[in-house]
Structure 1
Amino acid sequence: MAKQRHFIEKLRDLFLNEFFILGLIIINALIIFIDEFDLGYKTIGYLEASMTMLFIIEIWIKISHWGFRKYFSSNWNRLDFILIVVSLPSLLILFDNGAIMETNILLSLRILRVFKTFRLIRFMPEVDSFMKSIKRALQASYIIVLGFFILLFITALISCSLYKEIAPEYFRNPVVSIYSVFQLFSIEGWYEIPNLIAERSNEATAFFAKFYFSALLLGGGILGLSLVNSIFVDAMVSDNTDELEEDVKRLTQKIHSLEKKIDQLLKKSDDT
């Protein structure tokens, strides 16, 4: 009984050790990486199922040790829990020798387990400051990002209406049109679309197409994306000045306090 209790304690300490879990995450990523080569080895499937079992044990031990409330208070733990739940179908290989693994599309969700690799970020220096910077940048730029996607949506619908008959490979429906306009905004092969339209239409339509897509490139690509990037980057690096601003504030307070003391001393000297 004592040996069993000692073993359970050792197992608990092992799964509460972040470096051990880090090792499991790296091994898990390597297994998924190898599996995508389609080598046909059933051993890979069993290894994937084994990794799922180990992560289930990790969740069980941490919930038992910390309790549900403390466990789910961590965003990392919530992410882990969701990823493991959606990868549970990979365990079917243990009972079906892989037959279901080849037919059930839900089992492809096991690939989402690779997102556990994001936990490596926790071991980066000053990761908390980095995450706060990203959060602040998202809060500062969400309005301009929303405006950009509204612009993308509107121009995609207009482009679809104008050119779905001339260039169906780019604008045959709104979904394809959104992708094509976004590609245009990213300044990736932007000239190919108007040139193709010019080849398939008359001179007036060709001239208008070149003018139209040049305006889209300027408004959405050069100005739009640049504005989004500048606001996001500015918000991310703004915390670099927080400490300096705090020092300036403290220095200003000390100067005011010193000025008051000097005024008091001068007033006393005048009275005497």
Structure 2
Amino acid sequence: MIKKLFLNETFILALIIINALIVFIGAFQFNDKTVSYILFYTDHAITILFIIELYFKVREYGFSGYISSNWNKLDFILVLLSVPSFLIFFDLDLDLSYLLIFRLLRIFKFFRFLRFVPGIENLIKGIIRALRTSVLVILGFTIYLFIISLFSCYLFKNSSPELFGDPLKALYSTFKLFTVEGWYDIPESIISGSTTPFIRILTNLYFILVMITGGIFGLSLVNSIFVDAMVSDNNDELIEKVNELDKKIEKLINKN
């Protein structure tokens, strides 16, 4: 009876939903510590149930049979990631920041929702196909971002050290420009300290060029190729079916 319960995917989905609600509610601050304790221990009790589920499935299918499924591999990894959160029950000489990380790891359990999403396998195949198709475009875009970031760093690191003071800051600021986020704030902060009109004009023209090439054209090109590859169906199979249909039509016409 217990074994069938833990092999029932509907029961597991219900546990995941309840656990998600508990963790969500537990993020609020409660004056009553009793409520926090109940949520805390219930969350870990459900984690124990997930471990029991793992035990029954491995026992039912064997470890090699269980791990042969990609979804089961994901479940196995996510359950293992949530296990370190039990360390808070032991009197260990650990920094509180480490304990917080262990507690945060349990959030990864909710990636198990993915296996219950209708059509998720086709969606994942579409994403993989899109990544393979657009890998060269993404690489080219990344190289362009890197070059513009370094160029901007050397140009504006003295006039705007908070935005372009080092390559990492410049990389972040340039990416913001590419996403058309703060495209007017960044040049305004740079030219505000400049008293030369000619320098202001050149600065504005430079950032307009960066935004157009990287944001409007570059990022849009990456998005369009990625989305087009992701939503496209298996065209080869469709072409084969159309060719077979054409052959059947030709045979019918020849008979007549």
TM-score by length of 2: 0.87
Unmatched segments (≥5 aa) in structure 1: 1-9, 266-272
Unmatched segments (≥5 aa) in structure 2: none
Aligned residue in 2 for 1:155: 148
**How many correspondences in the alignment?**
251
Aligned residue in 1 for 2:214: 220
Aligned residue in 2 for 1:76: 71
CA RMSD of aligned residues (A): 2.5
The Cα shift of 1:104 comes to 4.6
Aligned residue in 2 for 1:131: 124
Q: Distance in 2 between matches of 1:102 and 1:31?
A: 25
The Cα shift of 1:109 comes to 3.6
Contact 2:66–2:72, Cα closer than 8 Å, also in 1: yes
The Cα shift of 1:256 comes to 4.0
Aligned residue in 1 for 2:2: 11
Deviations 1:96-154 (A, max 9, x none): 5xx97982515424323333333333333333322222221121112211221121122
Distance 1:62 1:100, change over 3 A: farther
Distance 1:146 1:112, change over 3 A: farther
Q: Distance in 1 between matches of 2:186 and 2:151?
A: 15
Q: Is residue 186 of structure 2 the alignment partner of residue 187 of structure 1?
A: no
The Cα shift of 1:76 comes to 2.1
Q: Is residue 18 of structure 2 the alignment partner of residue 27 of structure 1?
A: yes
Q: Is residue 140 of structure 2 the alignment partner of residue 140 of structure 1?
A: no
Q: Distance in 1 between matches of 2:9 and 2:42?
A: 21
Contact 1:190–1:217, Cα closer than 8 Å, also in 2: yes
Q: Report the identity percentage.
A: 50
Letter aligned with residue 52 of structure 1? T
Q: Distance in 2 between matches of 1:68 and 1:84?
A: 15
Deviations 1:138-174 (A, max 9, x none): 2111221122112112211111111111112211222
Distance 1:100 1:108, change over 3 A: farther
Q: Describe the SS at the equivalent of 1:239.
A: coil
Larger Rg: 1
